[in-house]
Amino acid sequence: MRAQASRMESLISDMLKLARLEADVVQSRQDLIDMPRVLSGALESARGLSRDRHRIEADVDPGLRLYGRESELHSLATNLLSNAVHYTPDAGTIALRWWCDDNGAYLEVQDSGIGIDAKDLPRLTERFYRVDVSRSREQGGTGLGLAIVKHALEHHEGQLEVHSEAGKGSRFRCHFPSHRAHRAARTAANA
């Protein structure tokens, strides 16, 4: 009963997040978000979820910020990382990257997990869509994580690219347009 109650609590929480994202038709506020700090919190959550069963690596540009809404960006990162933890066997690797180039900013989560069949890729961001229903139930997912990611990206004018192959892992890359990216000024202390 406790496990079912916990699952229902997660489901309700994710449904409320998704409802708020869908109801908010205005582009995200233009707050300058300290993404390295947001990603540090998301990585800490992922490491707690993993309980040292995975190697979790991070390559985060410490000066790269993003204009947007912190709560949505945090949900986006934690959903991608928790999926990677849930679908990567023990001793597997999960890597998070945050960087930019002339085309914008990128957040990428790559894993050495079970991967996704090509036929399932177009439906990944649908509500309640499950690639592997039995494994998802076993892991406790709600089936809403990637729908939340999709809507959070839309609010930030972003796009999601998914590259995956069954048995060979997955790479989820979020691209944010260049006008949302901001490089923090370097100070003498961190120059």
Burial of 63 (0-12, 13-18, 19+ CB in 10 A): middle
Instruction: For residue 180, report the phi and psi dihedrals to the nearest 5 degrees.
Output: -90, -15
The CA distance from 164 to 154, in Å, is 22
Listed range (51-65, 114-128, 132-146) with the worst mean pLDDT? 132-146
Residue with tokens 């489901």: 11
Give, in order, the Cα–Cα distances in Å from 32 to each of 29, 63, 140: 9, 12, 34
pLDDT-derived band at 128, boundaries 50, 70, 90: very low
How far apart are alpha carbons 149 and 65 in whole angstroms? 19
Average pLDDT over residues 168-179: 96
Question: Using 50, 70 and 90 to split pLDDT, how confident is the model at 48?
Answer: very high
Average pLDDT, integer, range 162-168: 91
Q: Is the pLDDT of residue 3 over 90?
A: no
Residue 4's pLDDT is 58
Q: What does residue 166 show for φ and ψ, rounded to 5 degrees?
A: -55, 130
Residue 173 has pLDDT above 60, yes or no: yes
Q: What percent of the chain has pLDDT over 90?
A: 55
Q: What pLDDT does residue 174 have?
A: 97
